[in-house]
Amino acid sequence: MDNDSVKTEATDVEAVCEEAYGRLVSAIEQGTQIKSTQRIRKAYEFAKASHGDQLRKDGSPYITHPLAAAVIVAEMGLDEESVIAAILHDVIEDTNVTHEDVARKFGEDVAGIVEGVTKLTKMRYTSKEEEQMENLRKMLLAMARDIRVVLIKMADRLHNMRTMEYQTAPKQLEKSRETMEIYAPIAHRLGMQKIKLELEDLSLLYLDPVGYHEIESALKEREQKNAGFMERTEKAIRRRLDEAGITCGVQSRTKDIYSIYRKMFGKSMEFDEIMDIYAFRVIVDDIAECYNVLGCIHELYKPVPGRFKDYIGTPKPNMYQSLHTTVIGSEGIPFEVQIRTWDMHRTAEYGIAAHWKYKEGIHSRGDEDKFAWIRNLLETQEDSDAQDFISNLKVDMFADEVFVFTPHGDVKSLPAGATPIDFAYSIHSAIGNRMTCAKVNGRIVPFSHVLQNGDVVEVITSNTSKGPSRDWLTIVKSSEARNKIRQWFKRERREENIITGKAAFEAEMRRQAVPLTILNDEKALARILERISVSALDDMYASIGYGGLSAQKTVNNIKDEMRLIERAAKRAGANPAWMSQNARQQKAVNGIIVEGIDNCLVKFSHCCMPVPGDDIVGFITRGYGVSIHRTDCKNYGLSAIREEDRDRWIRVYWAPGEDDLYQTAIAISAEDRDGLVMDIATVLSSLKIKVDALTARNQGGGQAAIYITVRVHDKSELAAAMTRIMNVRSVKEVKRQGA
């Protein structure tokens, strides 16, 4: 090859790109309100340089694809950010360009949209049953957050479908199935009729080429047989409406192939039975005109009974509005007429996207409204600028659910905040019970890890696993997992349940200052057991142990029963042994009762900073009274096994009814970002938690360690705060000091 021909080739590429860009510029001029193409030109040049000499399967320069997607976005009438994001939609996925690069050049808004599209592009679907598809659609919408991400993804998919002929046969099938099952239904829900119909027809071409061509040729045949029918009818309608003094636009079309296909194969209709193969559309200026047009049409042609539908009075859930009627033409050929206003027409074609430019004309009523959220947003934001409305529209209709994949590509829907434990039990209780560790997107995570939309979750099990841990009950979000864990403890661990249940029960008795000797009174015990519906004391302990009975409720029941017995005893002049003991209660210091010692000096250890609700023990220090530790404190664990210390550890418990604040500390690790500390501080202040000190350290590698000293009433208040902090963006771990 000589130099000249190389040069010619390069110029050709340049010409192809410029031509594609030119198409975008005219689409912008015609379809959007964008005033200047300066930033768009910059995006085009940046994307072109980034994609370099990358080619599409058809041999054209890669940049022609994002430009074509941007044309579709411009035709929808979206804003400048969307058009720019469409041009850049593949740069993060396919080139070295990063989110930061895009943000620096085109702003955070554009970068966020591109990032969102990239996330959706990375998702892989496998064809599944209908229930799975519904979850996939929801997941896609939930992941997108910003509705513009979905719309750009639609444009991307539409252009890929238009150029699908250059792909391999398996790829054509895979993409067409995905389009038919995921993207077309979403387009439908968002009211984007035009794109939905095109996506369906393009998919059908690959999914059932024989059926597609059969209908295509039947339509051609029909066209030849009824040559000129459409033109004649259109003219007749125009003439009649002209006479009535109605100004309008009239369009004619044959029905799209997939709709005919569905009627023929779904409803087993014959091609000739389908009445709306020919359709005419009359578009007028206002609603009153719509009904006038309807009258004229029914005068002109004989209406088919039962085929009139008023979607103006009762719009479809996706905001579609029109009058539909089917009539018999002068040649005996049936056809459909759709009558609507221009506003309704734009909404019908572009659905939600239409509201960038035109926000009038939404009169959505109808109670089967699945997409009430769109309508609600439209209604509540009626006064704000349309542009603002759509940029702020977040897809949060599935905020209480999270959608994750199994390693096989099945989608599981779990409550928001769910952990790998919830996931494991949602598959099978045996999986949960034998879980030893969990991976999310290939990486091992702690059991408390909060799952995100689109995560691939894998559970690793072992037959030698000792079963679930009691802590799991406080971590899991789904009642399914909680019940299955409880069942396991009930069944598998009676001995252990009795021990842990007894300990919990006795601790609660001490906390509420109820003497344990009550249980030595046989008569009293029988009444107590009957009251809580168990037949033996061990059964009561076992139930408390697996979580079926709460220790607190049990003790409350016992106190109620004691009051009844006491009253009866006093009346009879008797005095059971436990009653005298009950009277001699120990005094608390700093909210702590030290078993056997009154009024001793009590201080809280700095290594684990216990708060009410924590299981605690006391250590008799040399000269400074008793220091209080959590039973899970490392120092207690180390010291309790040392011979010389063993006798210094004594039982202590929280005095009931105290309402003091206790100081404790939490350690947070997170990915560092602007506003992180602010967000955490906001959470704490919204919970009215007192913060004594807060230090934040950058640990390098974009990681931050934050250490906060707070004062709380008890463990549950602390736990609530920790859960809320865990939900702050970019926070990875929240733990207590000493844990």
Binder among 79, 80, 156, 506 for Mn ion (CB under 5 A): 156
Q: Considering only 153-161, 198-206, 668-676, 691-699, which stretch makes contact with Mn ion by CB under 5 A?
A: 153-161
| Residues numbered 463-502 forming contacts with Mn ion, rule: CB under 5 A | none
| 85-114 positions binding Mn ion, by CB under 5 A | 90
Q: Closer CB to Mn ion, residue 56 or residue 527?
A: 56
Q: What are phi and psi of 650, to 5 degrees?
A: -130, 165
Choose among 233, 225, 238, 253: nearest CA to 329.
233
Q: Which residues, 6 or more positions from 693, have their beta carbon under 8 angstroms from its beta carbon?
A: 707, 708, 709
CA distance 366 to 314: 6
Question: Residue 228: left if φ>0, alpha if ψ -120 to 50, beta else—which one?
Answer: left
CB of residue 65 to Mn ion, shortest distance in Å: 6
Let me know: does 312 contact 323? Beta carbons within 8 Å: yes
Structure tokens given for 668? 């947070």
Q: What whole-number distance in Å separates Cα of residue 472 and Cα of residue 485?
A: 8
Cβ contact 405:453 at 8 Å? no
Binding residue count for Mn ion, defined by CB under 5 A: 2
29, 45, 93, 221: the catalytic one is: 93
Residue 27 Cβ vs Mn ion, minimum distance, rounded to whole Å = 17
User: Given the rule CB under 5 A, which of 32-40, 155-163, 379-387, 568-576 is the region that contacts Mn ion?
Assistant: 155-163
> Which residue's CB is nearer to Mn ion, number 67 or number 540?
67
**Active-site hit among 94, 234, 492, 733:** 94
Tokens 């202590």 belong to residue: 652
CB 600 within 8 A of CB 667: no
Cβ closest to Mn ion, residue 73 vs residue 734: 73
Q: Is 146 in the site for Mn ion (CB under 5 A)?
A: no
Query: Per-residue contact track with Mn ion, 53 to 92, x per CB under 5 A?
Result: -------------------------------------x--
Active-site residue, 93 included: yes
In one-letter notation, the amino acid at residue 1 is M
Q: Which lies closer to Mn ion via its Cβ, residue 21 or residue 472?
A: 21
When CB distances to Mn ion are compared, the closest residue is 156
Which is nearer to Mn ion, 163 or 631 (by Cβ)? 163
Least Cα distance to 47 among 26, 57, 61 occurs for: 61
* φ, ψ at 535 (rounded to 5°): -95, -20
Closest separation between CB of residue 330 and Mn ion, Å? Answer: 48
Q: Is the separation of the CB atoms in 327 and 335 below 8 Å?
A: yes
The DSSP 8-state label assigned to residue 459 in this structure reads: E
Residues 364-423 that bind Mn ion (CB under 5 A): none
Q: CB of 84: closest distance to Mn ion in angstroms?
A: 15
Cα–chain center distance at 189: 18
Strand partners, 457: 440
Using the minimum distance from each CB to Mn ion, give the nearer residue, 75 or 90.
90
User: Which range binds Mn ion by CB under 5 A, 152-160, 433-441, 508-516, 615-623?
Assistant: 152-160
Mapped onto helix, strand or coil, the DSSP state of residue 606 is coil
- Find the largest Cα–Cα distance for the chain: 121
What minimum distance in Å lies between the beta carbon of 68 and Mn ion?
Answer: 9
- Other residues' Cβ atoms within 10 Å of the Cβ of residue 242: 11
- Residue 576 in tokens: 């059971």
Nearer of residues 73 and 542 to Mn ion, judged by Cβ: 73
94 is catalytic: yes
In whole angstroms, how close is the CB of 156 to Mn ion at the nearest point? Answer: 4
Q: How far is the CB of 181 from Mn ion (least distance, A)?
A: 19
The residue ranges that bind Mn ion (CB under 5 A) are: 90, 156
Active site residues: 93-94
